[in-house]
Structure 1
Amino acid sequence: MLYVFRSSWALLLGMMLLMVGNGLQGTLLGVRGAIEGFSTLEMSIVMSAYFAGFLGGSSGAPGMIRRVGHIRVFAALGSMISAALILFPVLTDPISWTLLRVIIGFCFSAVYVTAESWLNNASTNETRGKALSIYMIVQMLGVVSAQGLLVLGDPSGYALFIVPSVLVSLSFAPILLSATPMPAFETTKPMGLREIFSVSPLGCTGIFIMGGVYSAMFGMSAVYGTEAGLSLGQISIFVASFYIGGMVLQYPIGWVSDRMDRRVLILGVSVLAAGVAVLAVLGGDVFWLLLMVSFLFGGLANPLYALLVAYTNDFLEYDQMAAAGGRLIFINGTGAIFGPLVVGAIMGAVGPAGYFGYLAVLMAGLAIYAAYRATVRPAPGWEETGSYAPVMPSGSPVAMEWAQEAFIEAAQEEEEAEDKP
């Protein structure tokens, strides 16, 4: 673990600053949109635009990096992010914000691809799994820290928009000045959608649903907070609780998943998450209950993405896993585009309660489908499955391939250990 920090501290510091900047702008827009008088539906379109841009960046970034290299892509897109962040308080209309969010989503996706390529290249076979875990923790800490910055300024002014712009600009310094050599960039040709769905219908369906859950959970959480009448400080704590829960419960759920039928665990976690969301629908006006719900829901929902990836991998050969990762990213990204749009329409019709009602319905739907799949297909024994690898729904294709490599290496090590007399 210490070796990973020593060899990649500059890259990890840069990524943390990126996440602080990205996390702050996402929550800040939800609050500022209410101040500007944007409707819930308009804000849902603005928030959805980020995920549309992110999906486009995941597809387009590899070609850009091959043509002009990591450093030029980093510099160009970093400048665009900084400029776009400053323009939000200047161009205060839904159409401009939607276009800016598309640009920011595209740029952040490409920047993540670039930075994650460097981080993965800095890892060895022995440290890749630890590096992935540290990277995920750094991402979470960055977003949680961002929520604390929200209360230090006036969301109706300019200063809070300048802060993420500065943080994003500063994040490139430790990354670009790092002694870590620039990696050669290669990506695996993805599997066909029909092929991967035939391999794991539950994995693909679940990851699509989790895209809708994740984008609504984080893209619309600040919008929900403003609609529910929370103060600025309460909104920052509420949003942070989702991420803290995900960070705390990621590893316990991962540990359990390596020791039982993952399908049963997916079913159980989904049922618990749906039940927790229903509690918020019934008692969302009690702030301490709302915090408990956001912590537990984030802690249950975040690991589900990695759990579904691991479950899909259980039915793949090693040489298929990296190729499958690209399609899983696409499926998740497609679901993420629709999440804010649907929850925004529901909240516009029934009020803030529609936010957790939407999350409860999606998690219940995943539980029902998992139960159905358990009746039509036998699961591999837990002793025949691979190891759980933590990966975030916000990860780029590089992060997914990184997780797949860690998964493969852990599985191969287990097989070698079993073969030894």
Structure 2
Amino acid sequence: MTISIVSLRSLFVSIGMIHLSTAALGTLVSLRIADSGGSQEAASFVAASYSMGFLLGCFFIFRPLARIGHIRAFAASAALCSLCALLLSISENTFVLIAARFATGLATASLYSIGDAWINDSAPANSRGRILSIYYIVLGVTSVASQAFIILFSGDLSEAFVMMSALYSIAIIVLVPTRTSPPSVPAHAQLRLIASFRESPTAFIGVFVNGFVLALLLTVLPYQASVAGMSANMIAFVVAAFYLGRILFQFPIGHASDRMDRRYMIAAMSLSAALTVMILSIASRNEGFTIAGESGLVLQVVMIIGSVFLGGLIMPLYSVLVAHAMDRTVPVYVGATAVTLLFVYTVGSVVGPIFGGIGSLLGSDRAVQWMCWVLMLVAGMFTVVRLKMRESVPHAEAASGVAASPTSVSISPETKRPEQSRF
């Protein structure tokens, strides 16, 4: 038991370093493309390449890689991420960026899958929920902290990429000496695309839209803000505020959703997010954030507060959608449904930047913002329609305490009775 706890502590530190780098690189790459004079289409396709790599790594690469040993696979994946970070520090070529981000996505999927499988195997049954809660808090806190590197190295982004490479190396150093039995590699879970859609079209469409919109908000919009004249420091504050919203809203939203038909919560979150996107889009038309003085400061405050609310609405939505799907799923198919929804979410994160790039080519750079607004509005209205078409699940039969994060297929959501909720 003591060895297990020590190994989990080492794992949390290593995964914290990995997530710190992953979240920071999403912003850094967008800023790098903007600084080098790259187009929005380039920023969009680079973002899509990372998501495509993550998709392939999560569903097709992880299991063969894990057979060489979980620690060796972890070290190899982290080393690849470190190498790609160094490559990003010295090159501005779009094709190099696409290749480096694709490889980073592959390796990052393996890192999260190994970490999730490790937690799944090592966490004692009587404290698994508490350990998972700590794990997700670690992910949330490091997401916020990651933006500090943009502020610290805003004068020279190349140095920031070198620091990200160092963090990957630290993750290897912390984890490699750990003594632990290898976690079991989860069996391949069959995708239930048609069945999952029939059981819960609200969750199916919702996770796709969630992945689509989040990919645009976290990768393409920082590029747009930089081109419009927003400083790297301000962009970092806005992105950090977005991640902070998840920390502040995740558990209250999950707790509240356990006590109602989750579709009311999904509709409220989607429509509120659409309204927030619209307000921020209209506000940012006036590039007041580039103007020194009171008007610029007011708009900066609006952007930061709006980002907290937007992140608090969109980022926890995935957990609520998965929980809603669990309400409609026969227990034997819970794991397969969770994997299916992760797949759909990841496909959305691939398609989102691609459509964002096409939209900017055919229309204007603001097509991305309106795309986010329309999709969140449509998802919210679709949920409202479904409320009228289908009765709610009886409260006694509903799942609760579903801890879900779009990181890998290695942690299956747990379902418990409402009185045992641990959101």
Q: TM-score, normalised by structure 2?
A: 0.90
Q: Kindly, what percent of the aligned residue pairs are identical?
A: 27
CA contact (8 A) 2:40 2:365 kept: no
Give CA-to-partner distance per residue, 1:143-170, whole Å, 9 cap, x none: 2111011122246453111100010111
2:390 is the counterpart of 1:384: no
1:253-264 to structure 2, matched below 5 A, reads 253-264=253-264
CA distance in 1, matches of 2:228, 2:92: 23
CA distance in 2, matches of 1:210, 1:5: 34
Deviation beyond 6 Å, 4+ runs, structure 1 = 3-7
Change in 2 beyond 3 A, CA 1:390/1:217: farther
Give CA-to-partner distance per residue, 1:218-254, whole Å, 9 cap, x none: 1224213213321111011011111000111001110
1:351-370 to structure 2, matched below 5 A, reads 353-370=366-383
Kindly provide the amino acid, as one letter, of the partner of residue 340 in structure 2. R
CA distance in 1, matches of 2:85, 2:155: 13
Report deviation, 1:347. Answer: 4.7
1:411 to 409, 414, 417: 417
Q: Tell me the equivalent position of 1:292.
A: 305
CA distance in 2, matches of 1:319, 1:414: 20
CA contact (8 A) 1:21 1:146 kept: yes
Identify which range, 209-218 or 187-196, moves more after superposition.
187-196
2:189 is the counterpart of 1:189: yes
CA distance in 1, matches of 2:66, 2:364: 47
Identify which range, 156-165 or 43-52, moves more after superposition.
156-165
Report deviation, 1:259. Answer: 0.2
Q: Tell me the equivalent position of 1:327.
A: 340
CA distance in 2, matches of 1:18, 1:256: 31
CA RMSD of aligned residues (A): 2.3
Report deviation, 1:85. Answer: 0.8
Q: Tell me the equivalent position of 2:388.
A: 375
2:351 to 338, 345, 353: 338
Aligned length: 407
Change in 2 beyond 3 A, CA 1:169/1:337: same
SS in 2 for 1:389: coil
CA distance in 1, matches of 2:7, 2:158: 37
Task: Return 5+ residue gaps in structure 2 as ranges.
Answer: 288-298
Report deviation, 1:172. Answer: 2.1
Task: Return 5+ residue gaps in structure 1 as ranges.
Answer: 416-421
2:269 is the counterpart of 1:269: yes
Identify which range, 212-221 or 34-43, moves more after superposition.
212-221
CA contact (8 A) 1:115 1:175 kept: no
Q: Tell me the equivalent position of 1:50.
A: 50
Identify which range, 264-273 or 283-292, moves more after superposition.
283-292
Kindly provide the amino acid, as one letter, of the partner of residue 125 in structure 2. N
Change in 2 beyond 3 A, CA 1:30/1:267: same
Report deviation, 1:189. Answer: 2.2
Q: Tell me the equivalent position of 2:230.
A: 230
CA distance in 1, matches of 2:321, 2:126: 24
SS in 2 for 1:397: coil
1:49-198 to structure 2, matched below 5 A, reads 49-154=49-154, 156=156, 158-198=158-198
CA distance in 2, matches of 1:22, 1:105: 9
Kindly provide the amino acid, as one letter, of the partner of residue 343 in structure 2. F
Give CA-to-partner distance per residue, 1:293-342, whole Å, 9 cap, x none: 11101100111111010000001122210121111111111111011222
CA distance in 1, matches of 2:368, 2:265: 25
Identify which range, 382-391 or 256-265, moves more after superposition.
382-391
Q: Tell me the equivalent position of 2:410.
A: 398
Q: Tell me the equivalent position of 2:325.
A: 312
CA distance in 1, matches of 2:258, 2:13: 31
Report deviation, 1:24. Answer: 1.7
